[in-house]
Amino acid sequence: MSATIFTSPSKYIQGKNELNNVGKYVHVLGKKPLILSDQTVWEITGEQIQTSFNHEKLDFHFVEFNGEASINEIDRVVEQGKENNVDLVLGVGGGKTLDAAKAIADGLDVGIVIVPTTASTDAPTSALSVIYSDEGVFESYKFYKKNPDLVLVDTAVVAKAPARFFSSGIADAMATWVEARANVKSGGLTMAGGKPSLAAQAIAKTCEETLFAYGIPAYQAVQKGLVTKHVEAVVEANTLLSGLGFETGGLAGAHAIHNGFTVLEGDIHHLTHGEKVAYGTLVQLMLELHPETELINYIQFYQELGLPTTLKEMHLDATSFEDLLKVGEAATQEGETMKNLSQDITAEDVAHAIIAVDQLSNSLF
């Protein structure tokens, strides 16, 4: 019988303008961090970070992230870290930057500080990364011996990011309770390697309740770059509650279907992680046999957030049934988290549910 396992970052800090204090927080963890960020994010945050570091008399080595959390990119930056004798990694940016930063810190065997600049995924708090090929196709999950030493979220920065990223984060977080409760029901294991704890279940459930209650006004606020109590609550749900909830509550169908979508070619690759997870969540709900009213509740919530709920919005309206079967095959392959929903779900079941979601969504327009 597997043990119950709950895991979390050592410290989580969230607040408006907290990036001004990053040097103070980093100072106790390392003396020469490697900072990983893409050019766009660094233009937004670089001056604040450097000012804070200068105040603490901290040196650092900056490396520009090339955009893909792939083994080649991770290995490239690890070599730079070794050459410059860094003793900490600071990842600043979105989901792929942060996933790569965690892998780089693991490769260097040093601590890791995560600074999300969007509330677009639940990646920041976890002890794992999603690894992609250089072309952006999902390859595997990479697990680490510990969670980040610090997750620092500046809500002033997050609120000024494109609102699409914010709604994508809500979509990713909305999968948390849907998947965790399925995992509890099936007796599956979590990403932390054990059974879901009562704490994880409570966190995952609170995550969904928070998003349904505050998601729409928070989304409207960030469209204007505002930080409100609604925004603070949803940022915490997207980042901390969803992060703890998925890692120690478990993944199931929604993320397996997301991974299945990555095998397709075309404009679907222009969608964010959360946008694909949103549709995957609806497909899981369809596979689970929920009442129409419950399905419609999720669909309408997603539509208000500008998330895709139809095959046309997923850029898949011209996709053949054979290609949807490929999505199903990838989602149900050995090692995928679909087994936490049910061992009996087939590729054809997934393809049918993908189409059924489209039919129901289109009937609401």
Residues 332 and 313: their CA atoms lie apart, in Å, by 24
The active-site residue out of 99, 122, 255, 352 is: 255
Mark whether 258 and 153 lie in a shared domain: no
% pLDDT > 90, the chain? 97
Write out the residue range of the structural domain in which residue 295 sits.
163-362
204-228 pLDDT, tens per residue? 999 999 999 999 999 999 999 999 9
* List 106, 273, 349, 352, catalytic entry: 273
In a domain, 130, yes or no: yes
User: First vs last Cα of the chain: how many Å apart?
Assistant: 48
49 and 174 inside one domain: no
Both tokens of 98, joined, read: 């942060």
Residue 182 and residue 69 in one domain: no
Distance, in Å, from the CA atom of 220 to the CA atom of 211, rounded to the nearest integer, reads 13
Q: Which 3 state secondary structure label does DSSP give 307? A: coil
Quick one: 185 and 124 in the same domain? no
**Same domain for 141 and 195:** no
Active site residue 255: yes
Whether the CB-CB separation of 246 and 122 falls below 8 Å is answered with: yes
Long-range contacts of 47-55 (CB under 8 A, 24+ apart): 48/19, 48/20, 48/22, 49/19, 49/22, 49/23, 49/92, 51/20, 52/19, 52/20, 52/21, 52/22, 52/23, 52/24, 53/22, 53/23, 53/26, 54/23, 55/23, 55/24
**Average pLDDT across the chain, whole number:** 96
Look at residue 3 and tell me if it is in a domain: no
What is the chain's length? 365
Q: Is residue 314 part of a domain?
A: yes
Instruction: Tell whether 2 is covered by a domain.
Output: no
Q: Is residue 6 part of a domain?
A: no
The reply to whether 29 and 151 lie within a common domain is: yes
User: Residue 7 domain-assigned?
Assistant: no
* Catalytic residue list contains 172: yes
Task: Quick: pLDDT tens for 317-348.
Answer: 999 999 999 999 999 999 999 999 999 999 99
Q: What share of the chain is helix, strand, coil (3-state, %, to 5)?
A: 55, 10, 35
pTM attached to this predicted model: 0.94
Q: Specify whether 86 is located in the same domain as 187.
A: no
Q: What is the pLDDT along the chain (365 residues), one digit of tens a residue?
A: 689 999 999 999 999 999 999 999 999 999 999 999 999 999 999 999 999 999 999 999 999 999 999 999 999 999 999 999 999 999 999 989 999 999 999 999 999 999 999 999 888 999 999 999 998 888 998 999 999 999 999 999 999 999 999 999 999 999 999 999 999 999 999 999 999 999 999 999 999 999 999 999 999 999 999 999 999 999 999 999 999 999 999 999 999 999 999 999 999 999 999 999 999 999 999 999 999 999 999 999 999 999 999 999 999 999 999 999 999 999 999 999 999 999 999 999 999 999 999 999 999 97
**pLDDT tens-digit series, residues 158-208:** 999 999 999 999 999 999 999 999 999 999 999 999 999 999 999 999 999
Both 193 and 146 in a single domain?
no
Q: Are residues 152 and 266 in the same domain?
A: no
Of 160, 180, 198, the residue that ends a domain is 160
Is position 318 within any domain?
A: yes
Query: What CATH number is given to the structural domain containing 353?
Result: 1.20.1090.10
pLDDT value at residue 1: 65
Distance (Å, rounded) from C-alpha 102 to C-alpha 110?
Answer: 10
CATH of the domain at 132: 3.40.50.1970
Q: Which of 160, 181, 210 marks a domain boundary?
A: 160
Answer yes or no: do 109 and 29 share one domain. yes
Task: Please give the pLDDT value at position 138.
Answer: 86
Q: Is 138 exposed, middle or buried (0-12, 13-18, 19+ CB in 10 A)?
A: middle
Structure tokens at 263: 């095998």
Q: Assess whether 183 and 65 both reside in one domain.
A: no
Sheet hosting strand 33-37, strand order edge to edge:
12-15, 150-154, 111-116, 88-93, 33-37, 61-64
Same domain, 145 and 190: no
265/260 Cα distance (integer angstroms):
11
- Annotated catalytic residue within 106, 154, 258, 352: 258
> Can 258 be counted among the known catalytic residues?
yes
Structural domain count, the chain = 2
Where a domain ends, among 137, 160, 183? 160
Q: Which of 122, 149, 154, 172 is catalytic?
A: 172
